[in-house]
Amino acid sequence: MSEPKTALHLIVTCTLRHWRISWPGYLLLLLIVAVGVGAFNGIRQASRAASANFGLFNEAVSGRSDFLIEARSGAMPASLLAELTGLAGVPDWHLLPVIEGSLTLIDETGEPVQQVRLVGLDLIAVGNLPAFNEQGLSFADDDAEWYQRIGPESGIWITETLAEKSQLARGDQLAFVAGGRRDSVLIAGVLGEPNQGMPDDLIVADLPAVQRILGREGLLDRVEVLLTDRIARVDPKVISGVEQRLKSGLPEALVLRPAEERAAQRASMTEAFRLNLLILSLIAILVGAYLILQALDAAVVRRRNETATLRSLGVSARVLFATSLSEALLIGIIGSFAGIGVGFMLAHGAVHLLADTVNALYFATSAEAIQLTSDDWILGLSLGIAFSFLAGLLPARDAMETPPAQILARGDWSPGFNWLRRPAPALALAGIGLLCLLLPPPTMAGGSKMAIGGFLAAGSWIMAAALLSGQSLVVLAKICRPLGQGPVWRIAISRLGDGSSRHRLAVAGLVVAVGMVTGMLQMVGSFRGTIENWFDVRFQADLYVSERGSSGAGNTNGIVPDIMARLVAAPEVEFADTLYLRKVDAPVGSTQLAGIDFAAWQTRISQIWLKPPGSLQPVEGAQPALISEAFGRRFGVLEGGSVTLQTARGPRAVSPIGVFADYGNEFGTAAIATETWQEWTGGERPINTSLHLVEGSDLNEVRDRLRLEFPGLDIRNGRELRTLALGIFEQTFKVTTALNGIGLTVALAGLLLGLLAIFQESARSWQTLGYLGFPRKQLVLAAGIEGAGIALAAWLSGTLLGLVLGWLLIAVVNVQSFGWTLLWQIPFPALLTFGAALTLVGFVCGVVSGSWWFLKNQK
Amino acid sequence: MNVKPIFHIHLPQAITALLLLATLLPVHATWIEPPLRTEKGYPVPQPDVMPDIPAAHGAHREYAIEWWYWIGHLESPDGREHFGFQSTVFRLAGDPEKAGGKEEGNPLGNRQLFMSHAALTDVRRKTFYHSERIYREGWQAEAEVGRLGLRVGPIRATELPDGTGFRLETNYENDGQLRLELRPTKPLIRFGERGLSRKGADPAAVSWYWTYTRMEAKGALIRNGREIPLQGTVWMDHEISSSQLGSDLEGWDWTCMKLDDGTEVKAYRLRRKDGTSDPWSKVYWIDRDAGVRSVYADQFSWEENSFWTSPETGLSYPTRVTVRATDPRDGRERAYTLRPLVENQEFIGNDGGNPYWEGACEVLNERGEKIGIAYLELAGFGGDLSTRLN
Amino acid sequence: MNKAVTILEVKDVKKAYGQVEVLHGVTFDIADGQRVALTGPSGSGKSTLLNCLCGIEPIDSGFIKVNGQVFAQSSRRELERVRRESIGYVFQAFHLLPTLTALENIELPGQLIAMPTKERKERARHLLEAVGLSPRARHRPDTLSGGERQRVALARAVMHHPRLILADEPTGSLDSASGKRVLDLLETLSRELSIALLLVTHDLHSTRICERSISIRDGRITG
């Protein structure tokens, strides 16, 4: 029989039958692959759905747009519509003006209940849209004339989902807070059918009504262009023709952008964030691969006799290699398919978490439907199969090297794994890692940089540590040997000190997981510490005021100037540090332009200055600015220079005179004098203010009084603000923590399986000890000590690796990806606790696997 | 004085006069005075009003419903291209207390509502294009007061600079456009008794109905980058009212014919819900020098010869009709058979509601000879039109 | 069977493990169809010699020829082929594949030499019957007694028409009754199928089925 046929025959008659007999174990393996692939795919899908939608909330009603007409920067005056009348008469497209903003719905006591997106559309013209008609939507009202349903005083329309969820109906009043103002509005109707699947955070009203509610009379956000002929939409020639016609009809103040560009823009903003998440999710697959390695190797050990018999019958080593590897591939294929399904479910769970994070950090978003694309299939399957293949290589080699039964019969035999003992490969990897650090980070579409050198270095060092870790076991055993005299101790320590390849393998896997967990713990800890420190320095005012319910970067409307003026005029307020903010286009991507009290920032407002104001000379002709570290790194002006930003008034240059630390956003901030900011942007609404009260004022009393007077504003004292900020911070790391947890659990399961394999392999020795009269209890204790020893060794090497990784993450990856400097903090108590816990778990694993083995083998 | 002989002489004359009266006066010669305002508060068109041209061509904002309607047949000079078109702008007033004044500078008003219907029939290729748009008064739709100045979606209509007529521009998809200069060859006709066209027994169901029955059209159709020079005749209606159909009416069948002898005929049959014709249905003849005569429903019949069923809406329209009417001038019966030039000229709106058939036809006499061209409109076959309009 | 043909030729074979010499120049041969017993105490080098005879362990010097194939010049693949085609092995510990039935275990060597399916199945059934286990055809090894397992192993060892059977303490794990039965079968199969046999044993009673006996002691043939 040819070799392939032989291999196939063996797979069918041996491998698959083993699967049938020991199906729980194999099911577990499939599950592990599924979890690994699922975690990776799930994160990808969830982060895509959370941040890559077009961000055009009206699409649920009006359908997908093809182009957007917007002002160059900021809002669009509605008066500009008069200049679009030429384009308005063309039946090839529909033009739909849109304005949108956030409302925070409040309950009777005034407490925020939910944040919703209020979208203003022309409720008459929307009836021209095919998508609107196809969905069977209608703004008609049996009891009202058409002119009563529209206009500035008309009511709002909520979706069925929201109506059901909040028990609201037509005719109710909806109380809300927006722009710092508290108000209520009539619910004119419910939009759509039950179970139509419209988002629950969408509220629609006639455009003039929304302008009034948001206090943005005379303004629009954009005009959407929807092509009539939906078939021609896919023809790029048609599209470009239409684009030309549209552009030629636009006034100077407006620009035309394809709608996809917005999605790309948004995607690029979160690219760094999503990439980091993705890499973290690779932990799950990596550790899963390790687990498969352990399990398959254990299977090889269990079937050692069988393999040896086949060898003695003349089956070639190659066939045995192929058979064993095929088993791994089969696990990979089946597990990966299952993983796609697991990922899909995981994505549903994770998407809201991610959407909240994106909302908090980047822009207003709502979770889109999770989509399973062909890319997801291809990537998930490839990854799962590839990792299973890699994991299966070692056991396959092991199987291949099994001698015929005659040799095996002689005693305990173990494969060499000699390469694990040699330091050369490990040192080479460490060297490669160092070289990788020299790689400059490439810039991504959104302007942020990818710390590719850092990631590659991390990967190399992790592998190097895994390879060298076995040595730590031997060293540990040597050190611990004198600590005990009893036979149990002797046996356990001698086995550890033997440094068998299988022991080294067990340590290696655990080291990787420990290293990564430790590294992440440090980064998170350092981040928290840095932020806390930053807080302590930066936030020294008495009270902090912002728009009520605006929980993130995407949701601010800005505070109505009247209200701000009244607040600042309160008698207890000595000084108000008011902040204006506007997103502007930069040379690459976008950044934040802030309006501040320029003089006060240089004198009385405390900051963490990387370069104090005045230490840099401004460039002539450019506006002096105080910039954040991230801004400086992104645009290369940490030592001075100038950057041109696109404002509503056209391109304007800013030049830094000082650099401050800012952990609020990774896109950088350039702060200029408020008057100039207002001139450049045409804006007039601040987003927050910090109040310094008159000496002797009762902080909390003033806070309470102001809260009553301004129910639409969020007023907190320093401590409350700190709690809020740290809460956001914790939230952003939730996913990281979850992934860490997965990785660690998988690693520990791997330890368990590894120990089982170890004991199986040394069956002879255990049997002999048994014959010698060793009580089983003592043998199990020895197994426990062995497990604890492996775990401890892994913790020691892993922590060392982790410290290096931590440094890497903080000093290299974070700086390159996000542009900020963190204070490196090593959470010693956490690390020690971790080590103790791990050792304990190792002990338990040893006891469990020892007991299990005895149960199975000594009837 | 002998009394008996006086009675002998006068009685026959009186009887003759009575008989004459009986034959000459139609049953509904009774004048129904329209109220000043409808129940909702809109003004009702009053009798004996002469349209003040050119101001009358502008919008009458306070009145509830108004439309400007152009239909026509156009041909290229070499006769190879033949098109029929319909361009209509509808206006609906909002709040009766506010409809009269316009909010300046408001791009999204709520005092007036506009709708445009644009249709183009390519007779040679047997294709039919139609589009509907609905807009509020503002940046996408407006109608000037005091002169013709319409800008609603794809339709623009303005006065010609020399005041001799109008410019009408209608945009179609794929960068198409119909550009026409229209000049009336007959004076403006005021339809209806004392200048009021009555549509039903309801006192308020009257309209000012002003028509140019024959306008000379010159212009071009731009399509697929080609410019096709066209000429022909166009019929223009401008109707103003505050309530259209009586509530017992389901719809109407309407036609305007341009006959080769230089005259025009307009006929409409108001269909009751029970299938019969409302007595206020009418036929008008407009002769070469713009003289107008007419008969009511009892003097004419509207025969449905054959039906066409729409594959899209499933509705059946009587697209081939014969109108037989007794011409009051000579008491003879005239028969006009309308035959559509393209079967499918069904106009379906955005949400599919209330489709109607309106299309280019030719007019045949009883011998089957072509004697003119026409447009035929069949409305209300898909449901209750009166509720929609009132 | 041609007694004139030498199936196994061993000449001056030496083998050492590190410093320890295990075989000190072993020489003997076995003719076609002949049954030879190899006896000796534990540690005499029997197992080592067997391993060298089936090409699993290389020899340091000397000469081994099995069915015309000289080992010293053979590659690993060729040695595997020799094991597949020319040699049948019977272990003390049976070494049946646990996931295969008795019949499938027997068939396996036939499959490895690409025996036609019909011939293979027939032969396997025939052999199973010959060792008296037809009713156990679909049983797995873990449901067979020790004696039954060894009988299946016997049938497997001759499935592929080998020229030589190497039996290493075939009755070592069996009770005396089963052991006797196995030995009888071994003799029968060898005789009826004309397969040479080298029976390694430390039990002198087992040698009754052999025509000749060689003893080995301290790595040397002594008789």
Tens digit of pLDDT for each residue in C13-42?
998 888 888 899 899 999 999 999 999 888
In a domain, C1, yes or no: no
Claim to verify: residue B254 and residue B310 sit in the same structural domain: yes
pLDDT band at C3 (very low <50, low <70, confident <90, very high): low
Does residue B5 form part of some domain?
no
Does the residue A196 lie in any domain?
A: yes
Same domain, B357 and B328: yes
Backbone angles phi and psi of A173, in degrees to 5: -100, 135
Q: Based on the fold, state whether residues A595 and A527 are members of the same structural domain.
A: no
3-class secondary-structure state, position A672: strand
Whether A128 sits inside 8 A of B134 (CB atoms) is: yes
Which residue range forms the structural domain that includes residue C162? Answer: 6-221
At B294, list the tokens. 């007419």
Check CB contact of A250 with chain B, cutoff 8 Å.
Answer: no
Mean predicted confidence (pLDDT) in A574-598: 89
Q: Are residues B73 and B215 in the same domain?
A: yes
Closest CA to A573 of A542, A597, A550: A542
Report if residue C36 sits inside a domain: yes
Domain match, A229 and A319 both:
no
Does A481 share its domain with A568?
no
pLDDT for the residue B245 = 58
Q: Which amino acid is at B6?
A: I
Contacts of A310 in chain C (CB under 8 A): 97
Nearest to A87 by CA among A275, A220, A254, A294: A254
Domain closes at, from A711, A737, A770: A711
Q: Helix H segments across A539-596?
A: 561-568
A300 domain-assigned: yes
Contact A583, A70 (CB under 8 A): no
3-state secondary structure A268-320: HHCHHHHHHHHHHHHHHHHHHHHHHHHHHHHHHHHCHHHHHHHHHCCCCHHHH
Tell me which residue in A2, A309, A316 faces C97 most closely, judged by beta carbons.
Answer: A309
On whether both B182 and B312 belong to a single domain, the answer is no
As to burial, measured by CB atoms within 10 angstroms (0-12 exposed, 13-18 middle, 19+ buried), residue A128 is: buried
Q: Residue A18: which of C54, C81, C99 has the nearest Cβ?
A: C99
- Cross-chain residue pair B172–A208, CB shorter than 8 Å: no
What residues in B contact A124, CB-CB < 8 Å? 113, 134-136
Cα–Cα distance for residue pair B228/A429, rounded to 1 Å: 76
Let me know whether B237 and B100 are in one domain: yes
Q: Do residues A545 and A560 touch, judged by C-beta distance below 8 A?
A: no
pLDDT band at A269 (very low <50, low <70, confident <90, very high): low
- Residue ranges of chain C whose CB lies within 8 Å of a chain A CB: 47, 50-51, 54, 56-57, 77, 80-85, 89, 91-93, 95-100, 104, 108-109, 111-114, 168
Q: How far is C-alpha C88 from the chain's CA centre?
A: 5
Cα–Cα distance for residue pair B211/B239, rounded to 1 Å: 8
Query: Which A-chain residues 111-150 have CB contacts (< 8 A) with chain B?
Result: 122, 124-125, 127-128, 133, 145-148, 150
Region of poorest pLDDT, from A525-529, B54-58, C58-62: A525-529
- Residue-number span of the structural domain to which A472 is assigned: 441-540+718-859
Q: Is residue B171 located within the same domain as residue B284? A: no
Asked if the C-beta of A401 comes within 8 angstroms of chain C's C-beta atoms, the answer is no
CA-CA-CA-CA dihedral for A762, A768, A770, A774, to nearest 10: -100
Residue A433 falls inside a structural domain? no
Place of tokens 């919008």: B59
Q: Is residue B222 part of a domain?
A: yes
The rounded mean pLDDT for chain A is 82
Tens-place pLDDT, residues A505-518: 778 878 887 888 88
Chain-chain contact of C99 with A9 (C-beta, under 8 angstroms) = no
In a domain, A423, yes or no: no
The answer to whether position A534 is within a domain reads yes
Domain shared by A46 and A159, yes or no: no
Considering A266-280, A673-687, B237-251, the range whose residues carry the highest mean pLDDT is A673-687
User: Given pLDDT bands bounded at 50, 70 and 90, which one contains residue A149?
Assistant: confident
pLDDT at A231: 64
Q: Do A79 and B105 count as a contact with CB atoms less than 8 A apart?
A: yes
pLDDT at A364 over 70: no
Of A760-774, B319-333, B340-354, C193-207, the one with minimum mean pLDDT is A760-774
Strands (E), A107-161: 112-121, 156-159
State how far the Cα of C70 lies from the Cα of A225, in Å rounded to an integer.
86
At B149 the three-state DSSP class reads: strand
Task: Work out the percent of chain A whose per-residue pLDDT is above 70.
Answer: 87
Q: Is residue A768 a part of any domain in this protein? A: yes
**Number of domains chain A contains:** 4
> From the CA of B95, how many Å to the nearest CA of chain A?
7
Task: Report yes or no: A8 at the C interface, CB cutoff 8 Å.
Answer: no
Q: Which of B365, B358, B370 is CA-nearest to residue B120?
A: B358
Mean pLDDT of A666-673: 89
Q: Any idea how long chain B is? A: 390
The answer to whether residues A402 and A509 belong to one domain is no
Least Cα separation, residue A132 to chain B (angstroms): 9
H helix count then E strand count, chain B = 2, 23
Residue A272 forms part of a structural domain = no
Examine the domain organization and report whether A254 and A122 are in the same domain.
Answer: yes
CB pairs under 8 A between A and C: 74
Looking at residue A283, what is its pLDDT? 67
Residue C168 lies in a domain: yes
Closest CA to A494 of A745, A128, A769, A297: A769
Asked if the Cβ–Cβ distance from B139 to A88 is below 8 Å, we say yes
pLDDT tens-digit series, residues A389-445: 888 888 888 888 888 877 766 665 666 555 556 778 888 988 999 998 888 888 776
Show which of A204, A231, A262 is a domain's final residue: A262
Same domain? B184 vs B261:
no
Q: Write the CATH number for B229.
A: 2.40.370.10
Query: What residues contact residue A174 under an 8 Å CB cut-off, 6+ apart?
Result: A105, A156, A158, A168, A184, A185, A186, A187
Residues of B with CB under 8 A from a CB of A: 92, 94-95, 105, 107-108, 110-111, 113, 118, 131-136, 138-140, 151, 153-156, 171-175, 350-352
DSSP string, A156-192: EEEEHHHHHHHT--TT-EEEEEETTEEEEEEEEEEES
Q: Which domain holds residue B377?
A: 246-390
pLDDT of residue B6: 36
User: Which chain C positions have a beta carbon within 8 Å of A14's beta carbon?
Assistant: 97, 99-100
Q: With 0-12 CB in 10 A as exposed, 13-18 as middle and 19+ as buried, what is C83?
A: buried
At C33, list the tokens: 């169809």
Same domain, B259 and B113: no
Q: What are phi and psi of B385, to 5 degrees?
A: -75, -30
Backbone phi and psi for residue B175, each to the nearest 5 degrees, phi listed first: 65, 30
Q: Beta strand A181-191 with A112-121: parallel, antiparallel or unpaired?
A: unpaired
Residue A353 Cα, gap to closest chain C Cα (Å): 48
CATH number, domain of C109, equals 3.40.50.300
Q: Is the peptide bond before B54 cis (omega within 30 degrees of 0)?
A: yes
User: Are residues A39 and A148 both part of a single domain?
Assistant: no
Higher pLDDT, C46 or A362: C46
Chain B environment of A79 (Cβ under 8 Å):
105, 107
A456-506: per-residue pLDDT in tens? 888 888 888 887 887 888 888 889 888 887 778 878 888 888 777 678 777
Pairing of strands A669-673, A590-596: parallel
DSSP code string of C18-56:
TTEEEEEEEEEEEETT-EEEEE--TTSSHHHHHHHHTTS
**A508 belongs to a structural domain:** yes
pLDDT (tens digit per residue) in A182-222: 889 999 988 877 656 667 778 999 999 999 998 888 889 89
Closest CA to A129 of A95, A170, A104: A95
Residue A656 vs residue A285, higher pLDDT: A656
Instruction: Tell me if B133 and A128 make a contact (CB, 8 A cut-off).
Output: yes
Establish whether chain A is in contact with chain B, requiring a minimum of 3 CB pairs below 8 angstroms. Answer: yes
Nearest CA in chain C to A6: C112
C with A: touching (≥3 Cβ pairs within 8 Å)? yes
Q: Does residue B223 lie within any of the structural domains?
A: yes
**Percent with pLDDT over 90 in chain A:** 17
Tens digit of pLDDT for each residue in A157-177? Answer: 998 888 888 888 888 999 988
Which A-chain residues 147-186 have CB contacts (< 8 A) with chain B? Answer: 147-148, 150-151
E strands, A780-859, where? Answer: none
Helix, strand counts (H, E) of chain C: 6, 10
pLDDT at C73 over 70: no
Number of structural domains found in chain C: 1
Q: Report how far Cα A586 is from the mean position of its chain's Cα atoms.
A: 25
User: Does B61 share its domain with B192?
Assistant: yes
Based on the domain organization, do B256 and B351 belong to the same domain? yes
Per-residue pLDDT of chain B (390 residues), as tens digits, is: 333 333 333 344 444 334 333 333 344 557 888 999 998 899 999 999 888 888 999 999 999 999 999 999 999 999 999 999 999 999 999 999 988 888 888 899 999 999 999 999 999 999 999 999 999 999 999 999 999 999 999 999 999 999 999 999 999 988 899 999 999 999 999 988 898 988 777 888 899 999 999 999 999 999 988 999 999 999 999 999 998 656 677 888 999 999 999 999 999 998 888 878 888 888 999 999 888 998 888 888 999 999 999 998 889 999 999 999 999 888 899 999 999 999 999 999 887 777 999 999 999 999 999 999 999 999 888 765 555 554
Left if phi > 0, otherwise alpha if psi is -120 to 50, otherwise beta: which for C129? alpha
For β-strands C20-31 and B206-223, DSSP reports them as: unpaired
Sheet harboring C196-201: ordered strands across?
A: C87-90, C164-168, C196-201, C35-39, C212-217, C220-221
Q: What is the dihedral of CA A343, A344, A345, A349, to 10 degrees?
A: 90
Q: Which of A1, A17, A409 sits opposite C93 (nearest CB)?
A: A409
> What is the CB neighbour count within 10 angstroms for residue A667?
24
- A310, A11 contact by CB (below 8 A): no
Domain count, chain B: 2
Is residue C205 in a domain? yes
CA distances (Å), A655 to each of A492, A593, A605, A632, A647, in order? 67, 12, 20, 10, 15
B238 in the same domain as B262:
no
Chain B residue whose CA is closest to A92: B173
- pLDDT band of A631, cuts 50, 70, 90: very high
pTM above 0.80, yes or no: no
* Beta strands C61-66; C69-70: pairing state: antiparallel
**pLDDT surpasses 80 at A140:** no
Quick one: pLDDT at residue A239? 82
C82 belongs to a structural domain:
yes
Please tell me whether residues B290 and B389 are part of one structural domain. Answer: yes
Whether residue C98 is contained in a domain is answered as: yes
Domain end position, chosen among B207, B229, B244:
B244
Token pair of A440 as six digits = 């400059």
Q: Which of A39-43, A740-744, B39-43 has the highest mean pLDDT?
A: B39-43
Give residue for tokens 């004085």: B1
Residue B216 pairs with which residues in a beta bridge? B183, B233
Give dist(CA A579, CA A550) in Å, integer: 15
Is B26 inside a domain boundary? no
What is the C-alpha to C-alpha distance for residues A706 and C2, in angstroms, rounded to an integer? 116
User: Cβ atoms within 10 A of the Cβ of A769, count?
Assistant: 17
Query: What pLDDT was estimated at residue A55?
Result: 62
